[in-house]
């Protein structure tokens, strides 16, 4: 078991209701998990808690057996080595593609950096674009740069927030396939958030369905589709 999350509770400062209530789930190494839910279900908050961008009110998160969050511990995001692909990609506008990708690689030799850059550019198929700037490339390419950038720090886990929501509908299925093949190639454990059942079905090994901050059902993708536990879940997949 790579990630263990137990009884997370979270409430945003200005909000009256709990965003997450006693949220627990686990992820095995190499698994691709989809957190599926409507907007406001708390799915993005789970990613922000795992990456350390928010601190939970209560609960525990362990990665590789090491506690990163509990009542007494809080490892800040820059120490967690968890890759995060933001919904808007958050590429640094003042840096080239190469500079963006290598941003998180610190205290390494020049040769190492060069090799890493080559490897990642090849992985995401953007060798030609290394000297371009983010505003000069397409949305799909930006997404791959963001993915390469988070892979550059050799994280144990990749988090992706609505990876397909900013793309043209016509491109989505192709990009879904590309993303899936990149992730499979690297074999990295990943959690992504989506509101679209097609994303979940085509990419995820495991689906966690969220509603109002609570888990409605979780399990292998096929199980959930064939045996929905409630009308709500069944409704999602029709």
Least distance between another protein and beta carbon 230 (Å): 30
64 lies in the site for another protein, by CB under 8 A: no
Q: Of 27, 35, 37, 51, which lies in the binding site for another protein, with binding defined by CB under 8 A?
A: 51
Closest to another protein by CB, 90 vs 201, is 90
Closest to another protein by CB, 48 vs 176, is 48
d(CA 207, CA 220): 6
Closest to another protein by CB, 44 vs 217, is 44
Of 148-207, binders to another protein (CB under 8 A) are 149-150, 152-153, 166
CB atoms within 10 A of CB 197: 17
Closest to another protein by CB, 106 vs 185, is 106
Buried b vs exposed e over 209-237: b needs ≥16 C-beta within 10 Å?
A: bbbebebbbbeebeebbeebeeeebeebb
Q: Of 19, 34, 48, 216, which lies in the binding site for another protein, with binding defined by CB under 8 A?
A: 48
Least distance between another protein and beta carbon 238 (Å): 28
d(CA 214, CA 41): 8
Pairing of strands 157-161, 189-194: parallel
The Cα-based distances of 215 to 21, 123, 195, 218 in angstroms read 9, 34, 14, 7
Kindly list the residues in this chain that would bind another protein in the complex (CB under 8 A): 14, 48, 51-54, 76-84, 86-88, 90, 92-94, 103-104, 106, 133-135, 149-150, 152-153, 166
């Amino acid at each position: 078991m790579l990630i263990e999350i137990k009884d997370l509770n979270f409430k945003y400062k200005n909000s009256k209701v709990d965003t997450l209530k006693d949220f627990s789930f686990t992820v095995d190494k190499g698994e691709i998990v989809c957190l599926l839910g409507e907007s406001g279900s708390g799915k993005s908050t789970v990613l922000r808690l795992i990456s350390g961008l928010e601190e939970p009110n209560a609960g525990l998160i362990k990665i590789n057996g090491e506690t990163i969050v509990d009542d007494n511990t809080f490892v800040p995001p820059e120490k967690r080595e968890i890759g995060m692909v933001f919904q808007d990609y958050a590429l640094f506008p003042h840096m080239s593609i190469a500079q963006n990708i290598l941003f998180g690689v610190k205290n390494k030799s020049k040769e190492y950096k060069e090799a890493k850059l080559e490897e990642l550019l090849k992985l995401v198929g953007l060798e030609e674009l290394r000297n371009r700037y983010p505003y000069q490339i397409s949305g799909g390419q930006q997404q791959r740069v963001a993915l390469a950038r988070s892979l550059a720090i050799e994280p144990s886990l990749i988090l992706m927030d609505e990876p397909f929501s900013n793309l043209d509908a016509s491109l989505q299925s192709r990009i879904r396939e590309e993303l899936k093949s990149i992730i499979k190639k690297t074999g990295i454990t990943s959690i992504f958030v989506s509101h679209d059942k097609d994303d979940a079905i085509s990419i995820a090994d495991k689906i966690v369905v969220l509603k109002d901050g609570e888990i409605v059902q979780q399990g292998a993708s096929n199980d959930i589709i064939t045996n929905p536990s409630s009308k709500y879940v069944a409704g999602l997949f029709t």
